[in-house]
Amino acid sequence: MQKISIDRIGEKLVRRLAGHTSRRGILSRLGLALAAAPVFPVLPVSRANAQGKPDRGDRARTHFTMNSQSKDDTKCDYWRYCGVDGNLCSCCGGGPHTCPAGAKASTTSWVGTCVNPDDNKTYLIAYRDCCGKPGCGQCHCDNQDRDTQLYVPQTNNDIIWCFGLDNMQYHCSTAALVGAVQ
Amino acid sequence: MLKSAKIRVVAIAALVMAPGMASGQTNGIASPLQHVSPTGAVTIPQAEVPSVSTLDAVQPHWVFVNRGNGQDGTRIFDGDTGKMKGMVNMYGQDSFAFDPLGKNFYVAQTLWTKQDRGTRQDVLLAYDVTSLKLVSEIPIPGRMLIGNRTHNLVITADGKKALIYNMQPSSSVNVVDLEKRTFDSKIELPGCATMFTNRLNGFSALCSNGTLATVAMNGGKPVITRSAPFFNATEDPIFDTSVIDPKTGKLTLVSYSGLITPVELGAAPKIGASWSLQQAAFMRKGTYTAMDVNWMPGGRQPIAVHHATGRIYVLMHMGEYWSEYEPALEIWVLNGNTHKLIQRHALGGELKGKLINIAVSQDANPQVYASDGSGNTFVLDAQTMEKKQKMEDSGGGILYTVQP
């Protein structure tokens, strides 16, 4: 019961986060993002199968979105990578939401809102770094959709997102699907 | 005993001399017999003593190229000759800053006792500007790990305090007393980053709610005040590599869409009216909306300002929103005082579509420096943008020029 309760709270926070990302900018409040970040790991993977909600119109039509694909997660134009900066874990022995062997998954992440070309809906993506090993060096991507500057850290992709680990050596980046944006 | 000691001294002397003499025979140096003077006297090459160089006084035409492109260290190049002068030790996500007093180069560094494990250590390092030797190592309680930022380590105008931005993961500033060489205090600064020092030995920082926070540091508890919102931090962010004139506290901010906002820092910063780069060039104002292609500022360090003349140099590309890191197709030169375009320089050859960092020297005969992030740094004539020098394998990061 308690787990379900936490999950609901997390979902509510994340949906609020996503719903405000590109419309009002309220999300730039650091406190909210930091409060939401630790919740991402407890969201169930099945959330990835959530029914897509109506997309948010022209704001979603970025150059990346218009040219993204959903077949190959080892390519920079894979749709979930709209805001990724770094080496793709899919090219380093891991997967889009899996760290390579021996690496440690960060408990925090930056977030992106990307459009899935298969259903044309917008989804919240948690970019979580895998850490504790030298930089993977494979498949480096630097996509910029909704990338903000340092004073809005929750959507900044240059930060080493290895917070909470005993070592912050960057290895690669994952792109876990969190859920559809309302 | 005495005899054996003498023998030992002679033996040691012979061993010390041996490498020098041997190198004279094997490293392409002519043998003594080849050094015959016109009078027939033989000149014997002298054994060389290993030595360590020192730097001259920092020159206006020196450019400091931050680490990057897989190359550690901040390399110092002479823009007049294109030759490397030396290197300041830097690794990973270390930050660099000049000393307003001209005595040190400062580096904020993070390392672990066992390289990729062990105990984390955050330190502020001071290197002597002449010997480049480490003169001070001050432990600090943490710092943010991010590369290529110009305002994460800054020094107050009087040279007495170092401000190191931290995020673990709440935002704060660690203050180091550079006179006592100790950590001084921590200033909580939620929602803000990118520090610009003012003439009052305090600083201002950009905030996520579109305001500028100003921190007064007058010995007591820091006092934080905030401006009214003047920019949109998520829809049209201001580049955090925007430029401050440390001598006057005049700040030149540039946003993703091409808005320039001048600010006079002080106890209560005066935020000037924003003006459009594109409108200065007789084009429609840049908008940050979908599929609206226009000339946009772009790169990791897209703007440089020559403070004495107010000339602004901007890396520009054709793009739409979220193309803020795209390399430049042109360099625009504008008068920051009149908001007029002076010239557009189309980039050709190896400069076209490559440049992501730009800086300018602050002397009366300025040079422009620009780099491609892939190891190449170029020296350009500030009037014509003609390429004067190319430094390969120079590092790929932010460019710094010394302030007058």
- Under the banding of pLDDT at 50, 70 and 90, the label for residue B35 is low
The highest-confidence range among A7-16, A141-150, B4-13, B207-216, by mean pLDDT, is B207-216
Q: Is residue B2 part of a domain?
A: no
The fraction of chain B above a pLDDT of 70, given in percent, is 90
CATH code reported for the domain at A2-180 = 2.60.30.10
Please indicate if any CB of chain A lies within 8 Å of the CB of B91.
no
Q: Do A148 and B93 touch (CB under 8 A)?
A: no
Give CA–CA dist B254/B302, Å, rounded.
9
What pLDDT score does B291 carry?
Answer: 81
Q: Is the pLDDT assigned to residue A35 strictly greater than 50?
A: no
pLDDT, position B28: 41
pLDDT at A1: 33
Q: What is the DSSP string of B97-129?
A: EE-TTSSEEEEEEEEETTSSSS-EEEEEEEEET
- Which CATH number goes with the domain that contains B397? 2.130.10.10
Domain limits for position B309: 65-401
pLDDT more than 90, % of chain B: 78
Q: What is the pLDDT of residues B128-180, one digit of tens each?
A: 999 999 999 999 999 999 988 999 999 999 999 999 999 977 899 999 999 99
Q: How many CB atoms lie within 10 A of CB B276?
A: 18
Contact across the interface for B322 and A63, Cβ inside 8 Å: yes
Q: For chain B, what's the residue count?
A: 404
B170 CB neighbours in chain A (<8 A) are 30, 34
3-state SS class at A141: strand
Looking at A39-43, B112-116, B300-304, which range is the least confident one? A39-43
**A59 pLDDT tier (thresholds 50, 70, 90):** low
Q: Taking all residues of chain B, what is their mean pLDDT, rounded to a whole number?
A: 90
Q: Report CB contact under 8 Å: A30, B289.
A: no
Q: Determine the pLDDT at residue A58.
A: 58
Residue A94 Cα distances to A175, B253, B352, angstroms: 11, 40, 36
- pLDDT of B4 higher than 50: no
What pLDDT score was predicted for residue B198? 96
Q: What is the pLDDT of residue B400?
A: 97
Give the distance, in angstroms, between the CA of residue B166 and the centroid of all CA atoms in the same chain: 19
* pLDDT of residue B81 exceeding 90: yes
Q: Residue B225's beta-bridge partner residues? A: B214
**Is pLDDT above 80 for A56?**
no
* Residue B19: per-residue pLDDT: 43
Question: Can you tell me the distance from the alpha carbon of B75 to that of B87, in angstroms, rounded to the nearest whole number?
Answer: 4
Minimal CA separation from A91 to chain B, in Å: 19
**Is residue B1 very low, low, confident or very high in pLDDT (cuts 50, 70, 90)?**
very low
pTM for this prediction: 0.83
Q: What is the mean pLDDT of residues B317-341?
A: 96
Residue that the structure tokens 């120079």 belong to = B394
Q: Which of A76, A85, A150 would you mutate first to test chain B, the one with the most B CBs within 10 A?
A: A150
pLDDT value for B36: 57
SS3 at position B267:
coil
Q: Is the dihedral of CA B256, B257, B258, B259 positive or negative?
A: negative
Structure tokens at A171: 């290895």
CB contact under 8 A, A30 and B171: yes
Residue extents of the structural domains in chain A:
2-180
Is A23's Cβ below 8 Å from some Cβ in B?
Answer: no
Q: What is the mean pLDDT of chain A?
A: 76
Quick one: pLDDT at residue A131? Answer: 95
**Does the beta carbon of A159 lie under 8 angstroms from any beta carbon of chain B?**
yes
B96: tokens are: 């660099």
Enumerate the active-site residues of A.
110, 129
Range A7-32 average pLDDT: 40
Predicted pLDDT of residue A97: 96
Query: How far is the alpha carbon of A51 from chain B, nearest alpha carbon, in Å?
Result: 25
Interface mutation target, options A114, A149, A157, A163, chain B, most CBs of B under 10 Å: A149
Asked if B206 lies within 8 A of A149 by C-beta distance, the reply is yes
By the CB < 8 Å criterion, does B169 face chain A? yes
Residue A7 has what pLDDT?
45
Residue type, A53: K
Q: Is B148 on the interface with A (CB under 8 A)?
A: yes
Name the band, by pLDDT with cuts 50, 70 and 90, for residue B38. low
- State residue B44's pLDDT score: 84
Question: Per-residue pLDDT tens for B257-291?
Answer: 999 999 999 999 999 999 999 999 999 999 888 78
The answer to whether B345 touches B295, Cβ cutoff 8 Å, is no
For chain B, the domain total comes to: 1
Dmax (CA) of chain B: 93
Picking from A18-22, A53-57, A80-84, which range would have the lowest pLDDT averaged per residue?
Answer: A18-22
At A105 the pLDDT is 95
Higher-confidence position of B372 and B19? B372
Looking at residue A55, what is its pLDDT?
Answer: 45
Here the tokens at position A42 are: 């407890």
A144 chain-B contacts, CB cut-off 8 A: 322-325
Q: Is the pLDDT of residue A47 over 70?
A: no
Which pLDDT tens digit goes with each residue over B215-249? Answer: 999 878 999 999 999 999 999 999 999 999 999 99
3-state secondary structure chain B: CHHHHHHHHHHHHHHHHHHHHHHHHHCCCCCHHHCECCCCCECCCCCCCCCCCCCCCCCCCEEEECCECCECCEEEEECCCCCEEEEECCCCCCEEEECCCCCEEEEEEEEECCCCCCCEEEEEEEEECCCCCEEEEEEECCCCCCCCCCCCEEECCCCCEEEEEEECCCEEEEEEECCCCEEEEEEECCCEEEEEECCCCCEEEEECCCCEEEEECCCCCCEEEECCCCCCCCCCCECCCCEEECCCCEEEEEECCCEEEEEECCCCCEECCCEEHHHHCCCCCCCCCCCCCEEEECCCECEEEECCCCEEEEEEEEECCCCCCCCCCEEEEEECCCCEEEEEEECCHHHCCCCCEEEECCCCCCEEEEECCCCCEEEEECCCCCEEEEECCCCCCCEEECCC
